[in-house]
Structure 1
Amino acid sequence: MTEQLFSAASEVDRAFLFILAFAVGALVLVTVLMLYFTWRYHHTRNPEAVEIPGSLGLELLWTILPTVIVMSMFWFGWTSFKAMRTVPEGAMEVAVEARMWSWAFTYPGGKRSAVLVAPVGGDVKLSMTSRDVIHSFYVPALRLKMDTVPGLTTTAWFNASAPGEFDILCAEYCGLKHANMITTLRVVPAEEFRQWLAGTDAVGSRARELFETYGCTGCHDLAGGAGAGPPLDALGGRVADVLLPDGRKERVTVDADYLRRALLEPEAEIVEGYDPMMPSYQDQIPEEDLEAMVQWMLTGDTAGPPPGRELAEAEGCMSCHSTDGSYIAGPSFRGLADSMRSVRDASGALREVRADDAYLRQSILDPGALVVEGETPIMPGYDSLDAAQVDQLVEYIRSLGPQDGAGAGAPQQ
């Protein structure tokens, strides 16, 4: 079983273990009886079949015993269901919105995030819905699974007992990029959560978002802990022993150039004691993100990318749109601005349009109005955004510049 993070999850585990024990016991009993009867009533011992008279005691036993077992399973199931569904008074409510293929979390006060952040020991109520199809919110460490349904609000709650980062998955097949619908539950101390909610920890949270976006936290810890790769915090000025491609050892001082090489050419210098398993991020990280990540690793400080990038991440845009020219489930943001698009309007007519600011705004607010030829109209409308937020997204898309041929052959949208 996975780590148990939620006290009410003990009820779920107890129900599961009881049913498992009964299933294993029934399997063993049936197998033993089958083997015994095969031996006992073999034709060499019983050449002629005989009628076995009924037994009131046995009939009562096999009626009462299964009834008791089934009622016991019902009781364990009911107590676990009740524990998971009874939301404590005063729980902080977080709105969860699922869409193909990302999660968005909205906190009291309006703060939005692409990851679910919660305080240790705090009751959190999740009010969940979907913008498109049925998804299923699943956190193994919480034993929590609840469908999100368009036009319907479903609820769940949890109280995380320990800090850490835990997987959030979609457990309902929801389309082409279902496997990409993954995010994180980040449980932090209460004071750190208050700072995050108030927006006063922009440095730390922004760094985590960038390193999570590019998959760095799967191998590297951001707070000095052990992992498959070295920790990434406060590296500026440190001395590292590295192995060069020719087998020689060298001692280097960690500076900005070294960290850029570590991201773009990780096999050029392997930190001693670690396996050469890191992939290259050459042409995969926009320069602005690369600079912000390097600066944070050096000093723990970064100004972060423009607000439009944060908004795009919080709204789940990065699940379908890349920033490096590659095609995921929608066009890359890089090279999109001012490119020519072949689109069909509501009447089905095909025409060429330029992706100017007006087109980009319309594509965000009403993506079904002009559908790019060859694309499936799966993108939901972001009518919950105000004009300033839409302008931030448009400015961010425009800031990524031309595509330079990357992603050639991918469909346009």
Structure 2
Amino acid sequence: MDTTLIDAVSKVDTAFKFIFGISFIILFLITAVTLYFLYRYSRKRNPEPSQIEGNLVAELIWTIVPCIIVGAMFWYGWVGYKALREAPADSYEVKCTARMWSWKFEYPNGKTSDKLYVPADTPIKVDLTSVDVIHSFYVAAFRVKMDTVPGMHTYVWFNSGEPAEYEIQCAEYCGVRHSYMLSKVVVVPKEEFDKWLNASSSATEAPNEGEEVMKKHGCFDCHTTDGTELVGPSFKDIYGRDTVVMENGKEKTVKADDAYIEKSILEPGADIVKGYEDMMPPTEVSKEELAKMLEYFKGGGKPAVRAGAKGAEVAEREGCTGCHSVDGSEMVGPSFKGLMDRKTTVLKDGKKMEVTANVEYIISSIKHPSEYVVDGFEPSMPEYESLSDDDMKALIEYISTLK
């Protein structure tokens, strides 16, 4: 390991030990002199007070010695400061975005996480910014602390050292969930880090051809793959399943075979699954695309993006779960559980009104949270206008699964 990397931490420790040591010695000397004066110049031993006109030696001592001490403190502090501000040219850079009340880390290849994963024995430079209020990135183990300021980019750097985990805290009070703004620096061997960095998420693994066709035509916007309900019935285990449909106002049971699935794609209004609305438009697909879709339903390809899985990742990554529970309990914001299509009392322009938490309302609440504030909660949520359309869809799908 490069000894200059070790020096960055050791110089901070040296400055601290020097200042603490000097402060302790001064405290000891002041206490000793005070006790001596109390004894030596008490009224019993010195009934007549002395008038001291001046003492050149004493004046020189209490002027020169403090100057030397302050100069030495400044020197040690400056050396430690420079060590923490001069990041090596070969540092591995990670972007960190702070928000109420979570940390988001973005790597050079675009991958994101809510924990800071870094390779062992490597200088790490963390570029810091905030999207709402001032936070402070603090890792005691590496002796680094730096404010994250909205609209400003700052940084810290440290040597990752041996594989281990270290606590990340926010050292600047930033609101009611300040104490929950925690994360970790996870130091792993370089080979393991490279594998993690380049690995695809289980929620977004490469789809097969049938899945590509279905994504192209927006099938997964209304149908899940894990059994939960959205606008339309779930695709999970649909092939060969007995399904109750409505035909001319009467119920009948059909088997979801090739003919039924093909008809449901080309003529979705013909046999409506019981319990669902006639909302699906006809889908124009070629014979080749239809064959690929049927193959997908038969289970010939990889599973599609699991409903809710990607949305759960987005919610965690963007810090949503730091303020919104998924089990019905109240936190800083209302719970995600049962949120979709729930009747909600909100405040708009100081007036109470009742709204339905449909897709449009949830999207508006994410992008412009101060427009409709749920009654009983504070308007503390930052705006998320930069959220991509894919992430927004995934988040809506995830919320829909939390019945």
Alignment-derived partner of residue 181 in structure 2: 181
Partner of 1:122: 122
TM-score w.r.t. the length of structure 2 is 0.70
**3-state SS, counterpart of residue 8 of structure 1:** helix
Match of 1:313 in 2: 316
2:72 is aligned with what amino acid?
S
Q: 1:6 to 1:105 in 2, by over 3 A?
A: farther
1:217 equivalent in structure 2: none
Question: What secondary structure does 1:350 align onto?
Answer: strand
Match of 1:358 in 2: 360
Q: Would the aligned equivalents of 1:7 and 1:159 in 2 still touch at CA under 8 Å?
A: no
Between stretches 105-114 and 57-66, larger displacement belongs to: 57-66
Measure, in 2, the Cα distance between the counterparts of 1:167 and 1:187.
11
Would the alpha carbon gap of residues 6 and 379 (structure 1) be closer, same or farther in structure 2, given more than 3 Å must change?
farther
CA contact (8 A) 1:123 1:157 kept: yes
Q: Distance in 1 between matches of 2:364 and 2:123?
A: 39
Matched position secondary structure for 1:393? helix
Partner of 1:332: 335
Q: 1:191 to 1:142 in 2, by over 3 A?
A: same
Report how many residues are paired. Answer: 297
Maintained 8 Å contact 1:196/1:202: no
Query: Alpha-carbon deviation of 1:45?
Result: 1.9
Give the residue type in structure 1 aligned to 2:332. Answer: A
Per-residue deviation at 1:305?
A: 6.8
User: Between the two proteins, what is the percent identity of the paired residues?
Assistant: 48
Q: What amino acid does structure 1 have at the position aligned with 2:111?
A: K
The answer to whether residue 369 in structure 2 is matched with residue 367 in structure 1 is yes
Shift of the alpha carbon at 1:90?
A: 3.0
- Stretches of structure 1 that go unaligned for 5 or more consecutive residues are 204-302, 402-413
Contact 2:308/2:399, CA 8 A, preserved across alignment: no
- Residue 194 (structure 1) shift: 1.1
Give deviations 1:286-319, integer Å, cap 9, x for gaps. Answer: xxxxxxxxxxxxxxxxx99711111111111111
* Other-structure match for 1:400: 402
TM-score (norm 1): 0.68
Q: Deviations over 1:227-260 (max 9, x none)?
A: xxxxxxxxxxxxxxxxxxxxxxxxxxxxxxxxxx
Deviation of 1:202 (Å): 5.8
Q: In the TM superposition, what is the alpha-carbon distance from 1:339 to its structure 2 partner?
A: 0.4
Report the Cα distance in structure 2 between the residues aligned to 1:327 and 1:381, rounded to whole angstroms: 21
Aligned to 2:27: 27
Cα distance change, pair 6–321 in 1 and its aligned pair in 2 (3 A): farther
Cα offset for 1:373? 2.5
2:38 maps to 38
Equivalence for 1:110 = 110
- Specify the code of the residue in structure 2 equivalent to 1:114: D
Matches within 5 A, 1:228-377: 306-345=309-348, 347-377=349-379
One-letter amino acid matched to 1:350: K
Q: Is the 8 A contact 2:308 2:397 kept in 1?
A: no
- 1:159-199 deviation line (CA, Å, top 9, x unaligned): 11111111111111111111111111111111111111112
Name the CA distance, whole Å, in 2 between partners of 1:350 and 1:49. 78
RMSD across aligned C-alpha pairs, in angstroms?
Answer: 2.0
SS at 2:17 equivalent: helix
Residues 308 and 395 in structure 2, CA contact (< 8 A), matched pair in contact too? no
Q: Distance in 2 between matches of 1:202 and 1:305?
A: 12
- Give per-residue Cα distances to partners, 1:260-307, cap 9 Å, x unaligned: xxxxxxxxxxxxxxxxxxxxxxxxxxxxxxxxxxxxxxxxxxx99711
- The question of whether the paired residues in 2 share the 8 Å contact of 1:137 and 1:147 is answered with yes
Q: Which residue of 1 aligns with 2:160?
A: 160
Q: Map Cα deviations across residues 120-151 of structure 1 (whole Å, 9 max, x no partner).
A: 12222111111211111111101111111112
Name the residue aligned to 1:98.
98
2:380 to 357, 378, 381: 378
| Residue segments in structure 2 that go unaligned for 5+ positions in a row | 204-305
Cα deviation, residue 88, structure 1: 1.5
Structure 1 position 6, deviation (Å): 6.0
Structure with larger Rg: 2
**Structure 1 residues 129-208: aligned runs within 5 Å:** 129-200=129-200
